[in-house]
């Protein structure tokens, strides 16, 4: 099944969405996780023909970039991918063992082992054909009325088919002591509205390939008049795309919070049977008094689309959505069609991942925390937690000093910023409480059923939050995820175990490199609490304007100055970075690295840092930052990210960030005339 959408309010992540891992035989010129040099500098990756004063990114990573090819089953490849590859092999070892163990029925090992085995069992999958979806296809075929359509939209949420809109539960952003139901736009089969609406020639080509894919997928499932049905499906999606909010609009924390009493929803979408929707999703009436509508104008437009679209056309739409979601779990002809569009056409990936990797991804996506519990037992050291605790404490001290030193912020706003910082919560490694999967039934011969049952349990678990206390122990990433996040409504920063490895965290390296790497990761996540959207939340996680007007105006001016730097960058002809879309991540990169430098200075306690391998501590600090962003992209994947991703390309996360820091200029002697030089008046400082 395709990856479930991340719907909780924790878009403030460190890295881009995780992608498939490289083959075991892929070239890996970067240092392995046990890199021995105490400096932590990957000497073989440096290109000393490039001056750090002219292109710091290529000075640090140039040899790696020149000698590395993107593996055929990946859309991009880099430092994060190497850690993902390691975590994937660790998970494979656990799953191979569990699948062969003949573990007791109902045990964690039985569940993850049999789910893994069910994906690997190609013979059973091929022999069963579409039988695993027969009941769901019948359910769709029996839809007769618009009330049935509304009921099915509700029901489909339970099996992770959130079309044409999504319902989920999250902390209420204006009352962070309670949970609320939320509905948000969905329904597209391509990555973004631009894929439907743009005149870009490459996007037009993908649009044409998509329509062929929809037709061929329907035909493979024996759908009568598949071409005609596909045309109508594309027409529905194109209408939805026109009313979709843009990625930039969806970043606005205030505009995306619109609380509606359920009784008033018919005014938003006249003619849509909300009672049928809630009944289909099995959401108790007592828990549906009010909810948050993320994009009200989308739902107004959706109401008109539902009213003017026949039930038979909705049946075709739902049929396609079901087939597309579960195609990776079906026989090879469906898997190949799914790959051909969703990976090859959209991201330029050349080859399907080996089946064992897809099996690992399936287990990780369905019950990631269940296998995560096994992962941390084998692969997380208490020493890493202790070192991280020290780093976080120093970053917090540095941030507090940074707030005090802001020349542009008034004392009253500084006091409130300190109050928010003091209320941050930090989570490191893995959850203290694991989710309960005791009711999940996993059968070794029922891959689709396994996925659906896991989805239902996850949905019911989220529904169970309504009316209950906030679960402060909950994690929204698994321990084996190479990433980190900040969650505004709970004001917490979270660092999974898998990222606490080189090049981000090297226990064999001195502090300069670690502060430039994992220290900047910590600073990045703290900074999300104070980026252009995170700053709108107070320390208790509520949307609350705590800024003095003059401070708000000055922050906005500086943020726009930073956005203009990124908007001027063009990684592909005719496509620039979207400074407004990437604003939060760019602020977090810049402020996080600046605070990490300050924290490193605090850790020295007035002592100087030694020169190691010919590099000063100051230089190693910035090299540590740049090493983590070594990455190559396929053009189609880079295009997709420029349109949809809130993170800037890795090259700019290095060069644009460091060029704003006077400490970088001093460390490498950057002077006027050097390409990395930025005049003091042009440098942006926010925190």
User: What is the rounded distance in angstroms from the CA atom of residue 32 to the CA atom of residue 55?
Assistant: 25
| Average pLDDT score over residue span 508-513 | 89
Report the pLDDT value the prediction gives residue 26, as an integer from 0 to 100.
Answer: 33
Report the pLDDT value the prediction gives residue 137, as an integer from 0 to 100.
Answer: 98
Helix (H, G, I), strand (E, B) or coil at 56: helix
CATH homologous superfamily of 131-329 equals Neutral endopeptidase , domain2 (1.10.1380.10)
| Average pLDDT score over residue span 589-618 | 96
CATH fold of the domain at 382-426+485-493+504-687: Collagenase (Catalytic Domain) (3.40.390)
Cα–Cα distances in Å, from 624 out to 133, 503, 512, 610, 627?
49, 7, 8, 16, 5
Residue 359 scores a pLDDT above 50: yes
| Average pLDDT score over residue span 405-430 | 96
Report the pLDDT value the prediction gives residue 144, as an integer from 0 to 100.
Answer: 98
User: What is the rounded distance in angstroms from the CA atom of residue 399 to the CA atom of residue 378?
Assistant: 34
Condensed to tens digits (0 to 9), the pLDDT of residues 177-231 reads 999 999 999 999 999 999 999 999 999 999 999 999 999 999 999 999 999 999 9
User: What is the rounded distance in angstroms from the CA atom of residue 355 to the CA atom of residue 121?
Assistant: 10
Report the pLDDT value the prediction gives residue 11, as an integer from 0 to 100.
Answer: 45
Strands (E), 173-241: 175-185
Kindly write down the DSSP assignment for every residue of 622-649, as one continuous string: HHHHHHTT-EEE-HHHHHHHHHH-SS--
Helix (H, G, I), strand (E, B) or coil at 488: helix
Report the pLDDT value the prediction gives residue 12, as an integer from 0 to 100.
Answer: 60
Rounded to the nearest integer, the mean pLDDT of the chain is 93
User: Sorting pLDDT into bands at 50, 70 and 90, what band is 5?
Assistant: very low
User: Sorting pLDDT into bands at 50, 70 and 90, what band is 507?
Assistant: confident
Counting residues of the chain whose pLDDT is more than 70, the rounded percentage is 95
| Average pLDDT score over residue span 139-150 | 98
User: What is the rounded distance in angstroms from the CA atom of residue 218 to the CA atom of residue 187?
Assistant: 17
Of the candidates 464, 463, 469, the one whose C-alpha atom is nearest the C-alpha of residue 490 is 469
User: Sorting pLDDT into bands at 50, 70 and 90, what band is 15?
Assistant: low
Counting residues of the chain whose pLDDT is more than 90, the rounded percentage is 91
Instruction: Tell me which H or E stretch contains 167.
Output: strand 165-172
Report the pLDDT value the prediction gives residue 36, as an integer from 0 to 100.
Answer: 39
Number of H helices, E strands in the chain: 27, 10
Model pTM? Answer: 0.93
Condensed to tens digits (0 to 9), the pLDDT of residues 446-496 reads 999 999 999 999 999 999 999 999 999 999 999 999 999 999 999 999 999
User: Sorting pLDDT into bands at 50, 70 and 90, what band is 272?
Assistant: very high
CB 75 within 8 A of CB 19: yes
CB 7 within 8 A of CB 166: yes
Q: Is 201 exposed, middle or buried (0-12, 13-18, 19+ CB in 10 A)?
A: exposed
User: What is the rounded distance in angstroms from the CA atom of residue 606 to the CA atom of residue 322?
Assistant: 62
User: Sorting pLDDT into bands at 50, 70 and 90, what band is 1?
Assistant: low
Report the pLDDT value the prediction gives residue 509, as an integer from 0 to 100.
Answer: 85
φ/ψ (deg, to 5) at 76: -155, 165
User: What is the rounded distance in angstroms from the CA atom of residue 197 to the CA atom of residue 420?
Assistant: 41
Alpha-carbon dihedral 363, 364, 370, 372, rounded to 10 degrees: 140
CB 373 within 8 A of CB 490: no
CA atoms within 13 A on the CB side of 398: 30
Q: What single-letter DSSP state applies at residue 30?
A: S
Residue 34 scores a pLDDT above 50: no
Q: Maximum Cα–Cα distance for the chain, whole Å?
A: 76
Report the pLDDT value the prediction gives residue 510, as an integer from 0 to 100.
Answer: 87
Instruction: Tell me which H or E stretch contains 617.
Output: helix 617-627
Helix H, strand E, coil C: the string for 418-437 is HHHHHCCEEEEECCCCCCCC
Instruction: Tell me which H or E stretch contains 651.
Output: helix 650-658
Condensed to tens digits (0 to 9), the pLDDT of residues 286-308 reads 788 899 999 999 999 999 999 99
Condensed to tens digits (0 to 9), the pLDDT of residues 84-117 reads 999 999 999 999 999 999 999 999 999 999 999 9
Report the pLDDT value the prediction gives residue 33, as an integer from 0 to 100.
Answer: 36
Report the pLDDT value the prediction gives residue 14, as an integer from 0 to 100.
Answer: 63
Report the pLDDT value the prediction gives residue 6, as an integer from 0 to 100.
Answer: 38
Where along the chain do its domains lie? 68-129+349-379+432-466, 131-329, 382-426+485-493+504-687
Residues comprising the chain, all counted? 687
CB 126 within 8 A of CB 332: yes
């Amino acid at each position: 099944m395709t990856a479930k959408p991340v719907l909780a309010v924790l878009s403030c992540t460190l890295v881009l969405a995780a992608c498939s891992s490289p083959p075991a035989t892929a070239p890996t010129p970067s240092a392995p996780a046990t890199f021995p040099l105490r400096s932590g500098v990957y000497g073989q990756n440096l290109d000393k023909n490039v001056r750090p004063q002219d292109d710091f990114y290529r000075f640090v990573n140039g040899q790696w970039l020149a000698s590395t090819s993107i593996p055929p089953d990946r859309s991009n490849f880099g430092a994060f991918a190497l850690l993902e590859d390691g975590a994937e092999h660790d998970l494979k070892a656990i799953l191979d063992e569990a699948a062969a163990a003949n573990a007791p029925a109902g045990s964690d090992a039985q569940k993850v082992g049999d789910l893994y085995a069910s994906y690997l069992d190609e013979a059973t999958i091929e022999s069963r054909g579409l039988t695993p979806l027969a009941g769901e296809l019948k359910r769709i075929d029996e839809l007769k009325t618009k009330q049935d359509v509304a009921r099915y939209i509700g029901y489909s949420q339970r099996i992770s088919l959130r079309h044409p809109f999504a319902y989920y539960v999250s902390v209420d952003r204006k009352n962070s002591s309670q949970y609320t139901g939320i509905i948000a736009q969905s329904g597209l089969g391509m990555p973004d509205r631009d894929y439907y609406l743009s005149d870009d020639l490459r996007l037009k080509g993908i649009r044409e390939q998509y329509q062929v894919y929809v037709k061929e997928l329907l035909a493979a499932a024996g759908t009568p008049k598949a071409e005609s049905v596909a045309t109508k499906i594309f027409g529905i999606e194109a209408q939805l795309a026109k009313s979709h909010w843009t990625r930039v609009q969806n970043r606005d924390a205030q505009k995306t919070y619109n609380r509606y009493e359920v009784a008033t929803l018919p005014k938003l979408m006249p003619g849509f049977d909300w009672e049928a929707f809630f009944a289909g999703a099995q959401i108790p009436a007592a828990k549906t008094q009010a909810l948050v509508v993320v994009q009200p104008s989308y739902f107004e437009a959706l109401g008109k689309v539902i009213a003017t679209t026949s039930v038979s056309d909705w049946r075709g739409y739902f049929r396609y959505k079901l087939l597309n979601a579960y195609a990776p779990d079906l026989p090879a002809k469906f898997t190949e069609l799914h790959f051909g569009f969703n990976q090859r056409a959209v991201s330029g990936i050349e080859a399907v991942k080996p089946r064992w990797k897809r099996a690992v991804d399936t287990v990780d996506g369905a019950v990631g925390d269940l296998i995560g519990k096994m992962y941390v037992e084998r692969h997380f050291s208490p020493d890493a937690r202790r070192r991280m605790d020290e780093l976080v404490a120093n970053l917090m001290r540095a941030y507090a000093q940074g707030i005090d030193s802001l020349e542009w912020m008034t004392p009253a706003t500084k006091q409130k910023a300190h109050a928010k910082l003091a209320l941050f919560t930090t989570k490191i490694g893995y959850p203290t409480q694991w989710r309960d999967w005791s009711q999940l039934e996993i059968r070794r011969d029922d891959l689709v059923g396994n996925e659906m049952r896991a989805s239902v349990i996850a949905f019911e678990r989220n529904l169970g939050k309504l009316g209950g206390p906030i679960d402060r122990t909950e994690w929204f990433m698994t321990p084996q995820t190479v990433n980190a996040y900040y969650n505004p409504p709970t004001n917490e920063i979270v660092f999974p175990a898998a990222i606490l490895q080189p090049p981000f965290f090297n226990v064999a390296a001195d502090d300069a490199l670690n502060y430039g790497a994992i220290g900047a990761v910590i600073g990045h996540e703290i900074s999300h609490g104070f980026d252009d959207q995170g700053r709108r939340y107070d320390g208790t996680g509520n949307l609350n304007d705590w800024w003095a007007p003059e401070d708000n105006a000055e922050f906005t001016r500086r943020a726009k100055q930073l956005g203009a730097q990124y908007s001027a960058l063009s990684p592909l002809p005719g496509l620039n970075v979207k400074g407004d879309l990437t604003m939060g991540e760019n602020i977090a990169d810049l402020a996080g690295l600046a605070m990490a430098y300050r924290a490193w200075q605090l850790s020295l306690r007035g002592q100087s840092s030694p020169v190691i391998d010919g590099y000063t501590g100051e230089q190693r600090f910035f090299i540590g930052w740049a090493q983590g962003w070594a990455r190559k992209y396929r053009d189609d994947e880079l295009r997709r990210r420029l349109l949809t991703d809130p993170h800037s390309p890795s090259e700019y996360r290095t060069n644009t960030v460091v060029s704003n820091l006077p400490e970088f200029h001093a460390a490498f002697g950057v002077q006027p005339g050097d390409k990395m030089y930025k005049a003091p008046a042009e440098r942006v400082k926010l925190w």
